Structure formats: structure tokens, C-alpha cells
């Protein structure tokens, strides 16, 4: 290892997190009650696309509880660490906060989540171009510095909101992607005889076409998908 590389790694370790039950100095963090404890492996940190999405996620905590769920809002797009200099990474507050909140250590090889404050990381962004870019940058950060974490089942997951809901009497189906909905329609006479509701859902504004109560209920309806590894070009 070159001296420059050694020095760079030593500098990167300065922002390492530790497994502790309480952390301070991260103002917008809504920390899970069990984060950093012996139950930390059961906790999920929700990374949201800004403060508005954080508000939606926090409202959902009243449903699922605060013991095993924490929320932290990202400010804009994350730094592309593959193209950034060490100095840029060290000065990036968002990355430092994620390391501290999760309890991540530089150059650490992880075979389990036992040493982390949270056992799972959930991405909650809009299903548009910007949201996809943010997801890619988060995956890029993990793949570059902590590829071993991506090999742990269900460590990285995604919050998916409903797009369409159909019902006939008491029989109800909720769809999270349009292909999934179109496939159902094809197998069910193009949906004839079924009532439907399209949700204009975003993580920043909730369900815009439904009652306000529906916005909060999307937290209880969410589907967690394991994200495939997608490297940044």
C-alpha cells in the first residue's frame, strides 16, 4: 500500500461511526429507540428525499412505532464518491452523518449487521428520474466503500408506494408497478366489473388524489423490495 493511500484511509476513518445507543449533533435525525442497542440489528433507517418526505415517513412511525424505525432526510443528491477526491468526501456532511447514524467503519468487511447501529437501510425516494438518481448514488456509495453489506440479505431495501388499487365488493388488489397492474388486467378481462383508483403518490406529498388519511396509510401498505446492485456508469 502506498503512503498516500494509507494516509487517505486514515483520514477517512476519522468520520467512522460507532455502535452506541445514542448519538448527538445530527439535528434532523429521528433515531430509532433501539438503534445501537442489542436490538439494533432489527432496526431500519429510512433515508428520505428531503424534509417533506421525512414528514411523511415520520407520520408513518405513529403506525409502525419508533422502536425499530429511524428517519433521516437527505439534502439533494448524494456525492458521487467514485469521482470525488478524499477531501471532498471528508467534507461531505451527508456521508459523514450516514456513517455515524449507521455505525459504519471505513474498510470494514461485514459478514453480519451485528456491529451496526441499524441492521437495514431503506431508501424512500420519488419514483422519477431524480429519485432513481439518488437511489443509484446511495448504492454507489455502499458498493464503493462497503460492498460486503450488499451481500447481506435484506440489508438494502426500497420503500414502494401503491400506484393503483382495484376492488370488487370486499375483494381488493393493490399494485405497486404499472406492469404488474397491466398483467392483472390482461388476466381479468381488462378489469371489467372492477372499480379502480389511481394514486398520484410521491414521497414528498403523499397520496395527492386521495383523502389525507390515505397518505398516512401508505406507510402500512408499503412493499419492501430488495434492491439489485446497480453500479453508477
**In this predicted structure, what is the pLDDT of residue 194?**
96
Catalytic: 195? no
Q: Tell me the pLDDT tens digit for each residue of 13-59.
A: 988 999 999 998 998 999 999 999 999 999 999 999 888 888 888 88
Nearest to 60 by CA among 46, 74, 49: 46
**In this predicted structure, what is the pLDDT of residue 132?**
82
- Residue 2: how many other CB atoms lie within 10 Å: 7
Catalytic: 87? no
Catalytic: 49? yes
Q: Tell me the pLDDT tens digit for each residue of 61-72.
A: 888 889 999 999
Catalytic: 128? yes
Residue 225: HSE in the Cβ half-sphere, 13 Å Cα cutoff: 13
- Active-site residue identified among 49, 94, 143, 158: 49
- Active-site residue identified among 51, 87, 128, 183: 128
**In this predicted structure, what is the pLDDT of residue 111?**
96
- Residue 133: how many other CB atoms lie within 10 Å: 15
Higher-scoring residue by pLDDT: 231, 145: 145
| Residue 150 scores a pLDDT above 50 | yes
- Active-site residue identified among 30, 31, 126, 143: 126
- Active-site residue identified among 9, 51, 87, 130: 130
Instruction: Please give the average per-residue pLDDT across 191-201, as a whole number.
Output: 83
Amino acid at each position: 500500500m502506498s503512503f498516500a493511500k494509507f494516509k487517505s484511509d486514515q483520514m477517512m476513518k476519522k468520520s467512522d461511526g460507532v455502535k452506541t445507543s445514542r448519538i448527538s449533533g445530527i439535528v434532523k435525525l429521528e433515531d430509532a429507540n433501539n438503534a445501537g442497542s442489542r436490538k439494533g440489528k432489527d432496526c431500519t433507517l429510512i433515508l428520505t428525499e428531503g424534509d417533506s418526505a421525512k414528514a411523511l415517513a415520520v407520520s408513518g412511525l405513529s403506525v409502525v412505532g419508533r422502536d425499530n424505525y429511524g428517519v433521516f432526510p437527505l439534502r439533494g443528491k448524494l456525492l458521487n464518491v467514485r469521482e470525488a477526491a478524499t477531501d471532498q468526501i471528508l467534507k461531505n456532511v451527508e456521508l459523514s452523518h450516514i456513517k455515524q447514524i449507521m455505525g459504519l467503519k471505513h474498510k470494514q468487511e461485514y459478514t453480519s449487521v451485528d456491529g451496526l447501529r441499524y441492521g437495514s437501510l431503506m431508501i424512500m425516494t420519488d419514483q422519477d428520474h431524480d429519485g432513481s438518481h439518488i437511489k443509484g448514488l446511495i448504492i454507489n456509495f455502499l458498493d464503493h466503500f462497503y460492498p460486503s453489506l450488499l451481500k447481506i440479505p435484506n440489508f438494502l431495501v426500497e420503500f414502494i408506494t401503491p400506484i393503483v388499487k382495484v376492488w370488487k365488493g370486499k375483494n381488493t388488489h393493490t399494485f405497486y408497478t404499472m406492469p404488474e397492474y397491466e398483467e392483472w388486467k390482461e388476466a381479468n378481462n381488462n378489469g371489467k366489473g372492477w372499480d379502480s383508483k389511481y394514486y398520484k403518490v410521491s414521497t414528498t406529498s403523499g397520496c395527492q388524489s386521495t383523502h389525507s388519511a390515505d397518505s398516512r396509510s401508505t406507510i402500512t401498505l408499503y412493499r419492501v423490495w430488495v434492491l439489485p446492485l446497480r453500479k453508477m456508469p
